Structure 1
């Protein structure tokens, strides 16, 4: 069975596992978003200036006009010599095309793009060391300078002859067609047909020794560069060709010859930002290879198809749980954090999420499809993950040891909500876990966010972007699962209602467990309380089911918050009264139309 993995994700994993072995080949498409013209566009504008001096109209085809008048193709260097007599004049003219004026700078034009800055981050972190570019501008150099890197820039044959070997430089930019401050740049058909031997030799080395990521280059005009790619031998590192829109015939032929992997992109900015995030996430947040996650889910679906695979299912879940525990017991999740700030603490949360990636993806599927028997391996996994490994250390890492168990519980619950399987949620919430060597309590109690992590929620200093939320941890987890459950819900609105329903039932289950001990009513409300539309709909949905279906209602049968219609109805009323009481509290004086989004 073929496993389909997003090509950008596969590239990210390969870059993470093989630091520095991929070179970039950047064309004009990378800089075009900054409004810097290409070399050919500059040449055409120079032709227009010549025509203006001749009091002639060169439109609509400046090249045809130039050929008809001068009987030759327009040449960038010759045009500059014609228009500007001194080197200083030539450089001033060129700068007007490449460097921003005051107005352009205010509008953010002719500045490094998001793509340039994302590439600079990849270079800074050691994933890219060689950049080939057909662009004349210095946007890549500027972006690298912003992150404290001064690259070696090779733009002429004599530069190449005196340069250090590529492996000894932290970053090398090879400006294949030259630099805009040098009038020897290449842009005419003849100039692009053949490179000097020094350029060819360097390209041969790069294409022979490095993998290649191509972006913003059409391959239509650069004959010499095409030749270099064609003569390069096949290497162990792949070629990835990213393109926006339809790929031309010339590029298609090169892709076929190189056996390159095609990546369809929305633009260079989007592509390199996504690639940078993925590559850095693999290292920082311990993300597993996407192939391993996909393979685990394929096996999981097979074992969920029939109960006779229960032993295989148990082995699969147990194996992944042990793998995760081994990671969580490693040095990246130690009990002490020095100089704690919101960035460090947020990174720790994301590291937990990265380590849990495969189990979370599996648990979402399991929650959707599992029956009671198939849920048992997951409950055992949660029991293992909820056991704290250390009691001493910084408060944050000590407290958040149970975060993986909470994530898996949410994943199972959201999957079950999407399939309408309340029975699975009832069994999940009722299963008991032991934390801090205290008496075992149901999962709905011991793994509830408001009970376990609420002291950290009050200021939410550890969550970037959630500092002003009423329920920051709930908001954070909502955002986390919104990206991972799109296949289960028709749209984001449906997801929000499903997420609210899970936390609504969780609050009721908590209150139901507490009611058996005779304690005063309290429910751990969260984001569902702030979305009045969801809250009213959830009350109406549950009450309608109880009124119409009676003891056959899925709310009664699941025993999430009662074993009879009367029990369930009474608890719903208590939560309703409690929500009205909270609405009068200054912290929760929120308009009926309030929506976080």
Structure 2
């Protein structure tokens, strides 16, 4: 979908209620946009921070276009320095309304699993405010072909957690990991409707997996503020949108 309207929201709410009655709650896929108001910077801001400290090394290895790319710049930063970069932001992060709203939807049963690209624990903290403690899975540390063991309601970190053993940041790391995520994406598209929030899909190794695995079997909602979806998203949803 393009920029959302009141009509879109009412239709989404209607579908979520219908899925709830069918005991097939929505799955959410969340990206950095969900955490920015909590104090976690977007990729562009992190790139600027990297260039302040590791600019010489980045310019030695990367061309001008890559110097604007989050994954490329991260490949020039030592792993311990990456952890320090995230740690400083994670310590300052506050629970925001986006995650409180998601936690409320989970508690009410309208949302089951939340799959996230984010490293922060803001959703877990929001859930705890409501007396909820959903299981948390770290696919960077233990991705698996078998997804049946994952609890119906859970938080799944695709690229690791800020305090976890593995953080996947660079283009090479996320590209190599994309196939590990495929079984989860396939199961998600088979079993439930998916609502994507805060994830652009513009330059990511996981997006081709989404494109290859989505077949229109369940509803796919992609929320955003743009007047029109970017070319990647449009190419994904157009075959199933009824628009020529």
Superposition TM-score tier, normalisation by shorter sequence: 0.7 to 0.9
Unaligned stretches of 5+ in structure 1?
52-57, 84-89, 101-109, 262-597
**Residue 113 (structure 1) aligns with:** 96
**Residue 354 (structure 1) aligns with:** none
1:7 shift after superposition? 1.9
Q: How far apart, in 2, do the equivalents of 1:152 and 1:251 lie?
A: 30
Q: 1:213 to 1:43 in 2, by over 3 A?
A: same
Q: Which has the higher contact order (CA 8 A, sep 6+)?
A: 2
Q: How far apart, in 2, do the equivalents of 1:80 and 1:46 lie?
A: 13
**Residue 214 (structure 1) aligns with:** 196
CA RMSD after TM alignment: 3.1
Q: 1:155 to 1:260 in 2, by over 3 A?
A: farther
Is 1:225 the equivalent of 2:226? no
1:66 shift after superposition? 5.0
Unaligned stretches of 5+ in structure 2?
1-5
**Residue 166 (structure 2) aligns with:** 184
Is 1:243 the equivalent of 2:190? no
Is 1:17 the equivalent of 2:46? no
Q: 1:239 to 1:260 in 2, by over 3 A?
A: farther
- Identify the match of residue 132 of structure 2 among 142, 149, 164: 149
Q: How far apart, in 2, do the equivalents of 1:155 and 1:95 lie?
A: 17
Q: How far apart, in 2, do the equivalents of 1:41 and 1:156 lie?
A: 25
Q: How far apart, in 1, do the equivalents of 2:45 and 2:75 lie?
A: 10
**What per-residue deviation string (whole Å, max 9, x for no partner) do you get for residues 205-240 of structure 1?**
1122111111111111113233233323221x3111
1:243 shift after superposition? 0.7
Q: How far apart, in 2, do the equivalents of 1:238 and 1:192 lie?
A: 26
Q: 1:242 to 1:94 in 2, by over 3 A?
A: closer
Q: 1:193 to 1:163 in 2, by over 3 A?
A: closer
1:128 shift after superposition? 0.5
Q: TM-score, normalised by structure 2?
A: 0.78
> Contact 1:46–1:79 (CA<8 Å) still a contact in 2?
no
**What per-residue deviation string (whole Å, max 9, x for no partner) do you get for residues 279-309 of structure 1?**
xxxxxxxxxxxxxxxxxxxxxxxxxxxxxxx
Structure with the largest fraction of helix:
1
Q: 1:178 to 1:63 in 2, by over 3 A?
A: same
Q: 1:217 to 1:93 in 2, by over 3 A?
A: closer
**Residue 118 (structure 2) aligns with:** 135
1:118 shift after superposition? 0.8
**Residue 7 (structure 1) aligns with:** 8
**Residue 39 (structure 2) aligns with:** 35
Q: TM-score, normalised by structure 1?
A: 0.35
Q: How far apart, in 1, do the equivalents of 2:112 and 2:208 lie?
A: 22
**Residue 330 (structure 1) aligns with:** none
- Identify the match of residue 106 of structure 2 among 97, 115, 123: 123
1:245 shift after superposition? 2.1
> Contact 1:239–1:259 (CA<8 Å) still a contact in 2?
no
Superposition map of 1:357-372 within 5 A = none
1:50 shift after superposition? 2.8
Is 1:75 the equivalent of 2:70? no
Q: How far apart, in 1, do the equivalents of 2:190 and 2:175 lie?
A: 21
Q: 1:227 to 1:92 in 2, by over 3 A?
A: closer
Bigger Cα Rg: 1
Q: 1:254 to 1:260 in 2, by over 3 A?
A: farther
Q: How far apart, in 2, do the equivalents of 1:64 and 1:146 lie?
A: 44
